[in-house]
Amino acid sequence: MPDVAIVGTGQTDHKSRRDDVNIPELAREAVDRALADAGVTFAEIDAVCFGNMDLFEGLAENEHWLASTFGAEGKPLLKFNTGGTVGTSTTMGAYYLLKAGFYGRILAVGFEKQAEGNSQGAITTVGDPIWERPMMAGAIGNHAVMASTYVADSGVTEEQAAKVAVKARRNACLNPHAHLKLPDITVEQVLESKMLAYPLRTLDMCPTSNGACAMVMAGDGHAQKLAARPAWIAAVASAHDQSFQGDSPKRMSEMRSLIAVRERLYAKMGITDPVSQLDVAEIYEPQSYAELAMCENLLFCEKGGGGRFIDAGTPLIDGELPVNPSGGVLSTNPIGATAMIRVAEAAMQVMGRAGDHQVKPDVQTALATGYGGNAWSDALILTARQPSR
Amino acid sequence: MSEPRFPEEPLFVSAELTLRYRYGAGSEAAHYLEGLKERMAFEGTHCPKCERVYLPPRPVCGICYVGCDGWLPVGPEGTITGATVVEVPFVDPITGEQRPVPYGFAFILLDGASTNIFHFVDETDRRKLGVGMRVRPRFRAERTGSITDVEGFDLIREEGP
């Protein structure tokens, strides 16, 4: 089966409002940038994969009126409708099609215009209507409870979580596409920001963003023509947990779906010491405590060591394993694009195109993850080296 | 041919949707909700292979891929495994109205169950609410055979001297 690579990426400059464009225009900005980055036109694209959740903007079957936006007339146009993982589901869908040899070049797109949508209303329908929905407390209430379990297990302090929030918004200042850029943010400001649901404060949470991300992906033979240094997809993994939110005993603290994908990816890649074997990680961290919990689950540090991990500076942009040098989800969250941004940012690092937040000139191995509640994890390993060669 | 003209202020079009749904609850729900209504009893389904007791109840164990073989009583008391005090407004999924804040919210492992449920807790001081605390359910006097027959959980507080 052919190797598959990312050969071009494009993002909008993510913002809290984009009243100057409609949804197709917003998505098209990222598409045009990705095509330009790869040096291709629509004529050279064989198929399009795109991701978006119907209920968030109240638009069912939007593939019809978005077809022109994606240059998809007369071509296969596949839509992915998963939740927080939609950006990685779309990427992995495109990867499977290329890997199977059906197509040579695919355009992948994810977008969200939250200012025009009803994200909270849509999220109320995530829970099982019989068993869960009447008691749901929204994404923030749910994340706060998960964080409380993680705090009880790990002893992570509010100050340590605040350091994650600070890291993200300072890294964002180096990323022209990032939304929430706070160059002078301090731990004290995070701790003084409004309490949403203990232990989560406003600055512990991701923002509400509008934006889009697109990537040109290509199979062996095509990829080398489109990029001097393609970001090869060396391994992918996806795993679900059981049906209900309370099924996983420790939830985020021991996230079974993330542990499952980690085990598969690391086994395939021969990774036994991720901090030394990975050059950079772009993980889907919806809030500050989650990043530390996920770093534990990804074995970036020992169990219960998330606080010491950030204290030691290991995940800082100049640390031994930079985590989310882009500013991460804490700085930018256009939900339908968020997970694809993780992959695109990891690809930019491998391709050497991350600009001011490039962690080092020669990134060989990068990890990207997607998060769909605790119930679903996706993860990909990108490499500079072509997998089968 | 004329040039396109753009308005000085962005133009918006509003839309409002009211959608009604009616979901089949399944046979486990029928048994379980009758127990809540008639006996104020919690019951979970038992996996014969791994011995997990599932709440919400379900016909199959997703870990062993075998059918559950019956019902076991769980609770009514339980232990908090995660908790918060929600201070940010959120639209109540049932009423469509914003739920008043603050309110206590927790994941609870009922005694004898292997999986957590989540519910409201009668404590809004976050310093008095935490992992490991014990709770008991507060049932409504008028029960209709709904999951909301349990109004919430109360902390089992130490009796004063």
Among A335, A258, A291, A296, smallest CA distance to A147 is for A291
CA distance A197 to chain B (A): 4
- The domain limits of chain B are 27-155
**Which of A125, A134, A251 lies closest to B147 in CB terms?**
A134
The per-residue DSSP string of A174-240 comes to T-TT-S---TT--HHHHHHSPEEETTEEGGGB----EEEEEEEEEETTTHHHH-SS-EEEEEEEEEE
| pLDDT at B161 exceeding the cut of 60 | no
Question: CA A294, CA A259: separation in Å to the nearest integer?
Answer: 9
pLDDT at B159: 63
Tokens of A136: 């749901």
- A123 pLDDT band, cuts 50/70/90, is confident
pLDDT at A247: 94
Q: Which of B14, B20, B95, B116 to mutate to test the interface with A (most CBs of A within 10 A)?
A: B116
Could you tell me if B119 lies within 8 Å of chain A, comparing CB atoms? yes
Question: CA A28, CA A202: separation in Å to the nearest integer?
Answer: 31
Which 3 state secondary structure label does DSSP give A89? helix
Q: Which of B63, B87, B146, B150 to mutate to test the interface with A (most CBs of A within 10 A)?
A: B87
pLDDT at A283: 98
Contacts of B58 in chain A (CB under 8 A): 243
Query: Alpha helices, DSSP H only, in chain A?
Result: 23-38, 54-57, 63-66, 86-99, 119-123, 138-154, 158-172, 187-192, 223-226, 256-269, 274-277, 288-297, 306-311, 328-331, 335-351
The per-residue DSSP string of A309-343 comes to HHHTTTTSTTSSS-B-TT-HHHH---HHHHHHHHH
**Which of B90, B93, B126 lies closest to A133 in CB terms?**
B93
Question: CA A319, CA A310: separation in Å to the nearest integer?
Answer: 10
Could you tell me if A65 lies within 8 Å of chain B, comparing CB atoms? no
| pLDDT at A356 exceeding the cut of 70 | yes
Could you tell me if B115 lies within 8 Å of chain A, comparing CB atoms? yes
Which 3 state secondary structure label does DSSP give A295? helix
A111-115: average pLDDT: 93
The tally of CA atoms less than 13 A away on the side-chain side of residue B86 is: 29
- The domain limits of chain A are 4-119+208-226
| pLDDT at A316 exceeding the cut of 70 | yes
Which 3 state secondary structure label does DSSP give A63? helix
**Which of A145, A195, A245 lies closest to B87 in CB terms?**
A195
| pLDDT at A343 exceeding the cut of 60 | yes
**Which of A19, A140, A149 lies closest to B82 in CB terms?**
A149
CA distance A168 to chain B (A): 23
pLDDT tens per residue across span B96-115: 788 889 999 999 999 999 99
pLDDT at B160: 53
CA distance B80 to chain A (A): 9
Nearest CA in chain A to B97: A121
- Determine which helix (DSSP H) or strand (DSSP E) holds A118, and give its type and residue range: none
- A198 pLDDT band, cuts 50/70/90, is very high
Could you tell me if A140 lies within 8 Å of chain B, comparing CB atoms? yes
B12-27: average pLDDT: 89
- A138 pLDDT band, cuts 50/70/90, is confident
A288-297: average pLDDT: 98
Question: CA A369, CA A323: separation in Å to the nearest integer?
Answer: 11
Cβ separation of B118 and A131 shorter than 8 Å?
Answer: no
- Whole-prediction pTM: 0.96
* Mean pLDDT, all residues of chain B: 92
The per-residue DSSP string of chain B comes to -PPP---SS-----------------HHHHHHHHHHHHH--EEEEE-TTT--EESS--SEETTTTEE---EEEE-SSEEEEEEEEE-S--B-TTTSSBPPS-EEEEEEEETT-SS-EEEEES---GGG--TT-EEEEEE-SS--SSGGGEEEEEE-PPPP-
CATH number of A4-119+208-226: 3.40.47.10
pLDDT at B96: 78
- The fraction of chain B above a pLDDT of 70, given in percent, is 98
Among A221, A217, A230, smallest CA distance to A94 is for A217
Question: CA A99, CA A168: separation in Å to the nearest integer?
Answer: 34
pLDDT at A373: 81
A234-253: average pLDDT: 93
* Mean pLDDT, all residues of chain A: 96
Check residue A48 and report its DSSP letter: E
Q: Which of A57, A123, A125, A135 to mutate to test the interface with B (most CBs of B within 10 A)?
A: A135
**Which of B82, B88, B130 lies closest to A251 in CB terms?**
B82
Phi-psi region of A27 (alpha: psi -120 to 50; beta: other; left: phi over 0): alpha
| pLDDT at B126 exceeding the cut of 90 | yes
